[in-house]
Structure 1
């Protein structure tokens, strides 16, 4: 059966690599999965996303062809067109233009959905991607659902309306569902918690015993919620030969580079930039990383982590992790699957890093505990089976 996944930008740009394994697993099970970005941004970065690049070419947010399709559809079926527009009219003023911008694409997409015999539409993100899915579903009559993550819930872009129209809403964490209910989403039966899944590592991660230094990596965009500044301060207090790799790009890069200089860490910190997903996983498999640290913050108003796939991927390769007790992270690290410290607590973070750098046996034990946690609760095959069941129940698979 054919499924349509609507992303923010995937397969283009550096983000959303965590969606690819889910699509690949569904494809492996015999389902046809088509991928459409709400707005394509940049080139294909991840090699595993290249197979999805050519389908439906590279549709932008809007084009002349989309406008023609929209006008013709409006003339042929004015009632359906007006009903579709009415779905987004309750938008807050700051969201209305954003939602209106996907209307022509929704009409264009509805035609593609019929041509390709799509049975179910699934959007990742409760924001504009879900707006596009909701409109295309209404126009085409094909059922839809969505996966809500974190910032998109906090944005609250027609969340109540979307919860009424979608066959089901999948939340990747308990904290995400709680946040949505607080923002006015009715606690209805169509809300479900299904984590993002991680492919289990089939190869034993290599171990470098006498490297002479401890390699720490922070795989995260250089943005405020990730808390990099606190990690740099913590590393400045670490005794011993430690090297920190920052894998990611973002608005804070220049400020963080300046802080590295001010802290005298030029020899200890490397900015790797945005690594292709397969390259990051390769570092884990080859045993090039001893410890993964994600010092995330809670910025208020729902701006915190969901359940970070970056931590899950490290844990799947038996690499020990340190993070903070924010957002959905406790759901992942509960029961000793990783170390948690309070957010923005430099002393506690430094103490945790120091302790693990000095104790290889503890690092190994913590890594094994994290790997067990992934195998028991976040394995890709089990997660996709849950999702597949929801698609079947809600008019998508046979």
Structure 2
């Protein structure tokens, strides 16, 4: 059993590593070859690896938005391969679950504008320069995260939808969340907050990709329903029509609450649909927003790096001050040691001087003793001389 678990664990590692290699290497030119390698992995046979595999694919789609269409085709072929051997697709279900998480993230991003304003106010009120720079770095990281995912999920989910891998109900729910700043509180949105513009722009990006397909599907549903009514044979299943007319009405309302560039882009999209999705001659429908988002992300990267460098410079300056203080402390210690040395010399000198006094006193005492002895001898000789005189 343990051996079997080890073998399966090795297989999972091979599948994850192989998926990374394939999606790091795939291009429009080698798509067919990479598709063959992807199908050979049969990752759908390893449920424990699927979540990681899907995350690798979606993350890569976020890094390379211009290859979203290629990545979506690879996923579609993977699902077709699985369905050829089974009635359901675990791979497709995992894709849907991952897309649902993107929807939750969109709801969180709707709060970004409010949070951003609060943080900016907090930064302006901060007095401590170091804390202020830390807060600025934190805000820049938040802005970077939002900018990086600005179009990613919308683009990739749109291409998955075109291949029938994302249900229309999820697209409807997704678009409702993206446009909630227009539909929920339009009177409060005049002027547009950053989070509103981000969400609305993602919706525009999505309908630039799937709008034509939705319109065509709605026409097919209408035709099938009309044919069934004419034949008086109700259809077995009535498909859901996407409310694209209402969606474009909301987009039209959004032109009053967003920036000029986004407003012009929305108007071009509305005009394109009104013209049957046929581009008008002389109108530039190209979209450089992905490159612009990358540029903004790069700018944010530069700002974060600059702040980090400034923080490092402050840290170096603090370290230099600490070294100077330590040097001064060492110098003070040297002065104290020198004073102590001088005091020691003075003490030794005093001791030596004190020793000389004792020697002088001893010499004096010796001299006085010699003098006493001399006086005593003199006195003896004086007595002897006196006695000699008296006897004469």
Q: Which range, TM-score by smaller chain?
A: under 0.3
Query: Structure 1 length normalisation: TM-score?
Result: 0.21
| Structure in which a larger fraction of residues adopt helix | 2
**Larger-Rg structure:** 2
| Structure in which a larger fraction of residues adopt strand | 1
